[in-house]
Chains A and B, each alone.
Chain A
Amino acid sequence: MIAFEHVTTKGKGFHLQDISFCLEDGFIMALAGENGAGKTTLLKHILEPDISYQGRILIDNIDIKKNRNACLNRIALVSDVHTMPGVYTVYDVCRLYQYFYDNWSQEILEKSFRQFGVPGNEQMKNLSRGGFFRMQLALGMAHKADVFLMDEVTGGMDPVFRRELWRFMRELAADGATILLVTHILDEISLKCDYRGILKTGQLVEWEEVFGE
């Protein structure tokens, strides 16, 4: 479960203004909006420790300000912005990060790599964008995340990848995971998501169910 309760950014610069919503387990929510509307900023509020805000962000009813590590243990980020060492192989990165997660499972990682076709011995700098997304998904599976944050993962990807990804996301949601997807693709929002939120200049101007459209 992921919940925003009156989240407003403090300080100068780009602001989120009074964002409130609650996404229960087992649902997929799409977040859309113009470029610069605050979609990625919203994800950053969840993940980055340096951003100061009023209100509360809850992951499985845990306030992220109070227990950030417990929350990050439950979160998987899938994004094309990453800082993993380019010369490390996929396995090296997994070996490095596994110590931080309480529920890490090497078996699930291996299984996910096989399932997604992740080349474990490939260097990070040589991974394609799709390969990198797959790897992050596998990482999320390995540490048994139940909140998946996906930043523009379907944009610019081929139809086969997108179909596979959606099938996988549906499976995840059926298993009780919560998925927050930032996307620009309107078809996906209306056809494949359970909820949609529209952001405009840092405000959530629309938030509704899209069942059965």
Chain B
Amino acid sequence: MTEWQKVQEFDREIVRYEERRESGFGGLSMQCIFATIFSFVLMWIPFKEIFRELGAYWAAFHGILLFLGVYWRMRWLMGLPGARGLVSWKEYLKYVPVDWREYRRHRYQVLFRYTGKMFFCFAVSQMVFQVLSCVFAGTAVCFLGIAYAAGMCFGCVLLPGMVCIWKYC
């Protein structure tokens, strides 16, 4: 087995384990997707302001959850929680026969390999957001309106990015 294959095997194993351990976060991502769809449905019910407000809260809440998810994933990219807080991959791989730089190279390669897909999702979601903003223009009311806009922003823009980071990085 070459050094590079060893690194990939290690990565496959640790990703498999992490996904099993943090399946709560995986579930959260799915929940956010459905919640965003649900919030859209609520928005489309005409002449019922209360549904619109509920949808806004709902979307805003899940936007925050998504933000936490992205933060968690980025942290994972740097290292894992160990005996003394967040421990970098360099520390984990210090005493095993592999150059930890190989592993770092591997992780960033995985990240950049999917950058194209992520960019596509961001672009599409941004267009959707713009269209929906036009559709809903004038319906935003006071704070709830702002929360709604923020929720839409998180839901439409960050959600696909979050899913991509989660899935591929």
- In chain A between 70 and 89, which residues have their CB closer than 8 angstroms to a CB of chain B? 70-73, 75, 77, 82-88
Name the residue on B nearest A89 (C-beta).
Answer: B17
Is A168 an interface residue, CB under 8 A from the partner?
no
- Contact check, B97 vs A70: say whether CB atoms are below 8 A apart: yes
Contact residues on A (Cβ < 8 Å of other chain), bracket = 20 to 34
- In chain B between 71 and 102, which residues have their CB closer than 8 angstroms to a CB of chain A? 80-84, 87, 91-92, 94-99
> B87 — which chain A residues lie within 8 A by C-beta?
83, 85
- Contact check, A77 vs B97: say whether CB atoms are below 8 A apart: no
Name the residue on A nearest B21 (C-beta).
Answer: A87
Is A35 an interface residue, CB under 8 A from the partner?
no
Contact residues on B (Cβ < 8 Å of other chain), bracket = 20 to 34
When each residue 111-149 of chain B gets 1 if its CB lies under 8 Å from chain A and 0 otherwise, what string results? 000000000000000000000000000000000000000
> A77 — which chain B residues lie within 8 A by C-beta?
95
> B94 — which chain A residues lie within 8 A by C-beta?
47-49, 83
> A87 — which chain B residues lie within 8 A by C-beta?
21, 81
Interface centre among B81, B91, B95 (most CB of A within 10 A): B95
- In chain A between 113 and 162, which residues have their CB closer than 8 angstroms to a CB of chain B? 124-125
A95's partner among B3, B13, B80, B83 (CB-CB below 8 A) is B13
- Contact check, A69 vs B82: say whether CB atoms are below 8 A apart: no
Instruction: Give the CA-CA distance A102 to B9 in the complex, in Å.
Output: 13
- Contact check, A69 vs B17: say whether CB atoms are below 8 A apart: no
B82's partner among A85, A92, A95, A101 (CB-CB below 8 A) is A85
Check A100/B13 contact, CB under 8 A, given A82-B83, A87-B21, A125-B83.
Answer: no
Is A68 an interface residue, CB under 8 A from the partner?
yes
- Contact check, B97 vs A68: say whether CB atoms are below 8 A apart: yes
Tell me if B's interface is mostly helix, strand, loop or mixed.
Answer: mixed
- Contact check, B83 vs A86: say whether CB atoms are below 8 A apart: yes
> A14 — which chain B residues lie within 8 A by C-beta?
none
Query: How distant is A133 from chain B, measured CB to nearest CB, in Å?
Result: 15
Name the residue on B nearest A71 (C-beta).
Answer: B97
Is B108 an interface residue, CB under 8 A from the partner?
no
> A68 — which chain B residues lie within 8 A by C-beta?
97, 99
Is A186 an interface residue, CB under 8 A from the partner?
no
> B21 — which chain A residues lie within 8 A by C-beta?
87
> B95 — which chain A residues lie within 8 A by C-beta?
47, 72, 75, 77
Query: How distant is A212 from chain B, measured CB to nearest CB, in Å?
Result: 35
- Contact check, A84 vs B97: say whether CB atoms are below 8 A apart: no
Is B168 an interface residue, CB under 8 A from the partner?
no
> A85 — which chain B residues lie within 8 A by C-beta?
80-82, 87, 92
Check A92/B17 contact, CB under 8 A, given A69-B98, A86-B81, A99-B9.
Answer: yes
- Contact check, A72 vs B96: say whether CB atoms are below 8 A apart: yes
Is B105 an interface residue, CB under 8 A from the partner?
no
10 CB contacts below 8 A, A to B, read: A68-B97, A69-B99, A70-B97, A73-B97, A83-B92, A85-B81, A95-B13, A97-B10, A99-B13, A100-B97
The 4 closest A-B pairs by CB, nearest first: A72-B97, A69-B97, A99-B9, A83-B91
Binding site for A on B (CB under 8 A): 1, 3, 6, 9-10, 13-14, 17, 21, 80-84, 87, 91-92, 94-99
10 new A-B contacts, CB < 8 A, other than A48-B94, A86-B83, are A69-B3, A72-B95, A72-B96, A73-B97, A82-B83, A83-B87, A87-B21, A87-B81, A96-B14, A101-B97
